[in-house]
Structure 1
């Protein structure tokens, strides 16, 4: 079915999936209003609770995920109200995918129905097992070579935390693949790649799974580590994954880079990597800062003396301030920036990932004013801002 959607046609479709339990999944995108209370994307799926089948509405706002479980007899009303907040939606049913679009006035303008092979609606358990980008039980050559998996594909018990970290990283990358350029070979630089678990994972995701034309360069100061990584890349025959010895601030290998990754670069090395990324006009930046000492001796604010007089609290506060400054400076450089939890705090206190995607905001003057007030209140002169100027 293609063409203009009449209101009664839309309502009939909702009645059909409500009464017959035909909804497998619904995805709403492109909010009609862009505000802090509206999620960029909202998904709906059936779940099985102790009291029966419900439909879970999942939305993410300011890096927090919210769930609302709706009873089957309330599904039609909730879907109708949700559609009023978004410009488009995709409904998956057992025999078709149905796309719904709304025009600028909010009226439904199109319903396209694509027939699919018969699919069965199977509600998922509420506390379902985690689905990984790289599943446990499926052999992955680079994970086997790195000692994370057995040849049969089972994750080694001692490496399960590393396995979870790799998958968490790949989830964060997957969310921004659509923001990378198309139509040419992508260039990615990983500063401070170390043993390169995540560098190999990144290449596997983009070049092997997504089949994107990509070259990745891993950079580290340790000669022995680089030699080991280079041997593994050659063994896997991944010719577009290379490793070099070098320093972040002095690296001049490329005039243009599409993605910059910097994981656990110490102190201002993270800032140097972010400045490189800005200079390259990179489309995507992923950074997990490590130790942050630069501002510890600078921060001065009498109002905060009850906090700052305790060394351990001052250290933690300084780390948060440093990452807040980095995020705001990235926004001023034209990036949409998020601070995300990388891995659980129980594994490491260095668990914040800065994810930045190129795309200028319209309120840069407000961001600049807020940032300057914040900086001046704490009497700091951040390395990243000084070097940027």
Structure 2
């Protein structure tokens, strides 16, 4: 039988994968996914392979083209897993990796039938056109006949994308207790209403959500709508992030489009509350624009627009790393928002109380010193963070 590389080339280029399942972690001390499945899908009329990465408490997805699939599949088998089953239209393959890292490949008769990839079907959203949803109707996104208003279709897709990101988080929330959620800078609260509808009406959670915004007119509008919809445990208050002191603990903190260092204040609040889940989409990031210095990067930074984008990426990198040092498993994702910029970065963090931070602190310190910056987030977090820096 051929080696792993040859087999992967064969099943991707000459056969059709029905499904692949990779399991049995080689190094159990490695904190990572414990299983990966692969199937073929169609996205925008293009064939892809969808990888599902199963962690202890959530699942993540990647859609890869053929070349990317070959590389990723090879790395997963050689580096992470002891066994892999690959089911194609022609054969079933089993790959076993021994303790020395050597592979044994078995080829058997095909046992599965091929079905058309699921993305050929109409996409099934969490919220669907044709299903009357009162909050969407009240916000002018859906008609009373269940049709999505054409001019609001981008907003409808954005709401669904947001709920998909939230759905990956709910396993971190205890369904047996009242879940407290704070939404800083909620604005007209499209996403806040969507979150309440999803968690309470669809998932059956007992929640208490507070939406916070500076604009009195926005708070009045949202409060009246919450009453009209009988969203009894959703309330809105006027105020800023830094001055909110009503709770001593919160389960989930959301901060979408808090400008500049207001995001840092929101993250500091979330960590002080020991929030299990944090979702943050920063915007208007000016802090590092005048601060960053790096002689090696002058060819980039002499162009204003590139320097601005670089400063924004540096800011979010700092934030993500600070959260990791504070014990969170942090992800940086793409989030689509049609009201602001076409594509924003979302920082999504789950508290797992990671105390093995010595290397994280070292990396963070080197990174910060390389750019000669003293980020405001350290001031926002205070001694709870600076004390950890001393653990290096």
TM-score range, shorter chain: 0.7 to 0.9
**1:27 shift after superposition:** 7.3
Paired with 1:48 and 1:326, the residues of 2 have a C-alpha distance of: 35
**Equivalent residue in structure 2 for 1:370, among 358, 363, 385:** 363
**1:70 shift after superposition:** 5.8
Paired with 1:212 and 1:271, the residues of 2 have a C-alpha distance of: 29
Q: Is the 8 A contact 2:20 2:87 kept in 1?
A: no
**1:360 shift after superposition:** 3.1
Pairing 1:256–2:275 present: no
Q: Is the 8 A contact 1:290 1:350 kept in 2?
A: no
Over 3 Å counting, the alpha-carbon distance change for 1:296 and 1:45 in structure 2 is closer
Paired with 1:29 and 1:259, the residues of 2 have a C-alpha distance of: 31
Pairing 1:28-177 to 2, within 5 Å after superposition: 31=25, 33=27, 39-45=33-39, 58-60=51-53, 64-66=62-64, 71-74=88-91, 76-77=92-93, 80-81=94-95, 123-177=116-170
TM-score normalised by the chain length of structure 2: 0.75
126-135 vs 299-308, which moves further: 126-135
Paired with 2:147 and 2:200, the residues of 1 have a C-alpha distance of: 23
Pairing 1:239–2:254 present: no
Q: In the alignment, what sits opposite 1:383?
A: 376
**Cα shift readout 1:31-66 (whole Å, capped 9, x = no counterpart):** 4546999755423457699xxxx9956245997444
Pairing 1:250-289 to 2, within 5 Å after superposition: 250-289=243-282
Unaligned stretches of 5+ residues in structure 2: 1-16, 55-59, 70-85, 99-112, 383-392
Note the aligned Cα RMSD (angstroms): 3.3
Paired with 2:251 and 2:281, the residues of 1 have a C-alpha distance of: 18
Over 3 Å counting, the alpha-carbon distance change for 1:366 and 1:71 in structure 2 is same
Q: In the alignment, what sits opposite 1:93?
A: none
**1:285 shift after superposition:** 0.2
Pairing 1:353–2:346 present: yes
**Cα shift readout 1:53-88 (whole Å, capped 9, x = no counterpart):** x995624599744465963223x31xx449x79xxx
Paired with 1:320 and 1:257, the residues of 2 have a C-alpha distance of: 28
Over 3 Å counting, the alpha-carbon distance change for 1:366 and 1:316 in structure 2 is same
**Cα shift readout 1:244-280 (whole Å, capped 9, x = no counterpart):** 0011001001111000000001000011000000000
Q: In the alignment, what sits opposite 2:284?
A: 291
Paired with 1:309 and 1:48, the residues of 2 have a C-alpha distance of: 42
**Cα shift readout 1:206-258 (whole Å, capped 9, x = no counterpart):** 11100001010000000000000011100011110000001100100111100
> SS of the counterpart of 2:208?
strand
Q: Is the 8 A contact 1:47 1:56 kept in 2?
A: yes
Q: Is the 8 A contact 2:180 2:252 kept in 1?
A: yes
Unaligned stretches of 5+ residues in structure 1: 1-22, 86-119
> SS of the counterpart of 1:244?
strand
Pairing 1:337–2:330 present: yes
Q: In the alignment, what sits opposite 1:198?
A: 191
Paired with 1:36 and 1:240, the residues of 2 have a C-alpha distance of: 41
**Cα shift readout 1:176-202 (whole Å, capped 9, x = no counterpart):** 100112421000000000000000000
Paired with 2:140 and 2:294, the residues of 1 have a C-alpha distance of: 49
**Equivalent residue in structure 2 for 1:178, among 150, 167, 171:** 171
> SS of the counterpart of 1:256?
coil
Paired with 2:380 and 2:26, the residues of 1 have a C-alpha distance of: 40
**1:350 shift after superposition:** 5.0
Give the aligned length.
325
**1:309 shift after superposition:** 1.1
> SS of the counterpart of 1:255?
coil
Paired with 1:387 and 1:194, the residues of 2 have a C-alpha distance of: 23
Paired with 1:290 and 1:325, the residues of 2 have a C-alpha distance of: 15
Q: In the alignment, what sits opposite 1:309?
A: 302
